[in-house]
Amino acid sequence: MPPPLFIAIRFIGYRKKAILLSLTGVILGVAFYICAQAQTQGFEQFFIKGTLGSSGAIIIGNRFQSLHTAILDRQGGTMVNVSHAKPRKFYEGITDPERIMRAVNEFSSVTACAPVLEGSAALATDFRQEVFRVQGIDLGLHLKASALREHIVAGRIEDFQEKPSGLILGYGLADKMRAQVGQDVGLIGPDGEYRTFRICALFQTGNLTIDEKFGYIHLKAAQSLLQRPYGISHLMVKLRDPARAPAVAAHFERLFQHRARCWQDRERGSLEIFSLIRISAAITVSTVILLAGFGIFNILTLMVMDKVREIAVLRSMGYRRSDISAIFLWQGVLVALIGSALGCVLGAALTYGISQIPVDIKGFLSAKRFLVHWSVMDYCAATVIAFVAIFLASYFPSRRAARLAPVDILRGSGQ
C-alpha cells in the first residue's frame, strides 16, 4: 500500500460522521441517477420496439421522379437559375413490388421484407361505425418482418391465416367498438360496398396511436376492398441493426427511386421528447452527487486546516508536495469508489423493485407496470459523474495542502 494511501485512510477516520454523510450522498446520487435513467429509457425502448415491430426499420414507399437534371444543380458556372423548384414528383404506391423485394432481400443487412397495402376504411358493428387504417398483408412475409405474432393478445394467428376474410384488430379499436374475437363485422371501402369480415385476433403494441387506429386483413382482400388490384402502398423492411437504418434508407432511395423512410425520421418528434426527458432527469439527479461533492470539499478544506502540523512533519520527513496532495486526493478517490460501488448496487435494487410495481398507464403509451431498461452505460455514466465531482471537490483542498510551507508552520506562522 503506498504511504499516501495509508495516511489518507488514517485521516478519513478523523471526521467519520461528516465523511459518512457525504458518502451517503454519493451512494444515493448514483443510485437515483441509475434508477431515473432506467425508467426514462425503459419507456423509450418500449416505444422503439413497438415502432420497429409494427412498421419495420425502413418503409419503402412512393416512387419519385426528379424534375430537373443534375446540370441544373451546379452552383457555379451555369447560365440557368431555377428558383422555387420542387426537386421531386411523387407517384403513389409501388407498381412493381416483386422486383424491388428481390433486390432488397439481396442486402446482407436485411433480414425480411414484406408488402403492405394501406388505406382508410370504415369498421361497422352493431354499435357504431369507426374509420380506421386497414393494412393488407401477406401473413407469411409479415410475420418475418414484424413482431405481429408477439403482439397478439387474444385469438389465434392461425385462424386468420386459414380464413380469407379474417381480420386482426387493434386492442384499443376493438375495445372502443365493443368487438370481440369471433365476431363478424363489416368493412366499408371507398366504393361504399359492405363486406363481412370475422375478427380472428386482437393485437396490442402498447402504442395507442397504432392500437386504436389500425387493423390487418389479407393482401388480396385489401386490394379488393381498396380497389387497388395490383399495387401496394409500401414495403416494410426489417434490418439486423436498426441503428443503421438512415444510411440503408438513403442507399435504397438512390437505388430504387422510391422514397425510403427510416424509423428515426418517422418518429423524430417522439424520440426528441424522450431524449429531452432523459437529459432533464440526468441533470436533476446529478445535483445530488454535486451536493455530496460540496460536502467533500468542505470536509477536506477543514481537514487541511486541522492537519497543518501533521503536514509540516510529513514534509520535514521528506514527503514531496505531490505526496501531500495525493493524501487528500486519495480520500476523495476512496469516497468516490465506495460510493459508486454501493450506489450501483442500490441503483440495481431500486430499478428491479420499480419494475415490479403494477400500474395501469394509458396515454401516449400503454403499460401494466413500470418499464425499465438495463444498460451498462447508465452505471458507467453515474460512476464517471461521481468520480469527476469528487475529484474536483478534492483537488482544490489538496493543492492548498501541498502549498503549505513546513518551516512557517513549525515556527507558528502557517495557515
pLDDT band at 415 (very low <50, low <70, confident <90, very high): very low
String of DSSP letters for 69-121: -GGGG-SSS-S----S--SEEEESSBS-HHHHHHHHHTSTTEEEEEEEEEEEE
Under a CB-based contact definition with an 8 Å cutoff, are residues 197 and 217 in contact? yes
CA dihedral 208→209→215→219, nearest 10 degrees, is: -140
Start-end of H helices in 267-375:
268-306, 308-316, 321-355
Residue ranges of domains in the chain:
3-52+270-410, 120-219
Range with the lowest mean pLDDT among 157-166, 274-283, 312-321? 312-321
Assigned C-alpha cell, 157: 394467428
How many H-runs (helices) and E-runs (strands) does the chain carry?
16, 13
Q: What average pLDDT does the segment 72-85 reach?
A: 51
Residue 359 belongs to what H/E stretch? Answer: strand 358-361
String of DSSP letters for 190-255: TT--EEEEEEEEEE--SBHHHHTTEEEEEHHHHHHHTT-SS-BSEEEEEES-GGGHHHHHHHHHHH
Contacts of 173 (CB under 8 A, 6+ apart): 123, 130, 132, 179, 211, 212, 213, 214, 215
Using only C-alpha atoms, the chain has a radius of gyration, in whole angstroms, of: 32
Neighbours of 108 (CB within 10 A): 6
Range with the lowest mean pLDDT among 54-63, 77-86, 208-217, 357-366? 77-86
Under a CB-based contact definition with an 8 Å cutoff, are residues 135 and 216 in contact? yes
- What Cα–Cα distance (Å) separates residue 68 from each residue in 74, 78, 92, 250? 12, 14, 20, 20
pLDDT band at 367 (very low <50, low <70, confident <90, very high): low
- CA–CA separation, 362 vs 126, rounded Å? 26
Assigned C-alpha cell, 274: 424522450
Assigned C-alpha cell, 164: 380469407
Under a CB-based contact definition with an 8 Å cutoff, are residues 212 and 91 in contact? no
- CA–CA separation, 92 vs 403, rounded Å? 76
Share the mean pLDDT of the chain: 83
pLDDT band at 75 (very low <50, low <70, confident <90, very high): low
pLDDT band at 404 (very low <50, low <70, confident <90, very high): low
Record the pTM.
0.74
Handedness of CA 76, 82, 84, 86 (dihedral sign): negative
Does position 358 have pLDDT exceeding 90, yes or no? no
Q: What average pLDDT does the segment 4-28 reach?
A: 75
Q: What average pLDDT does the segment 233-251 reach?
A: 93
Query: Please, is 300 exposed, middle or buried when counting C-beta atoms within 10 Å of its C-beta (0-12, 13-18, 19+)?
Result: buried
- CA–CA separation, 67 vs 288, rounded Å? 57
Read off the pLDDT of residues 151-195 as tens digits, 9 standing for 90 and up.
999 999 999 999 999 999 999 899 889 899 999 999 998 888 899
Q: What pLDDT was estimated at residue 238?
A: 94
Q: What pLDDT was estimated at residue 326?
A: 81
Does position 261 have pLDDT exceeding 90, yes or no? yes
Read off the pLDDT of residues 91-122 as tens digits, 9 standing for 90 and up.
677 878 889 999 999 999 999 999 999 999 99
Q: Between these two residues, 216 and 88, which has the higher pLDDT value? A: 216
Q: What pLDDT was estimated at residue 4?
A: 66
CA atoms within 13 A on the CB side of 328: 30
Under a CB-based contact definition with an 8 Å cutoff, are residues 357 and 25 in contact? no
* DSSP secondary structure letter of residue 389: H
- CA–CA separation, 63 vs 88, rounded Å? 10
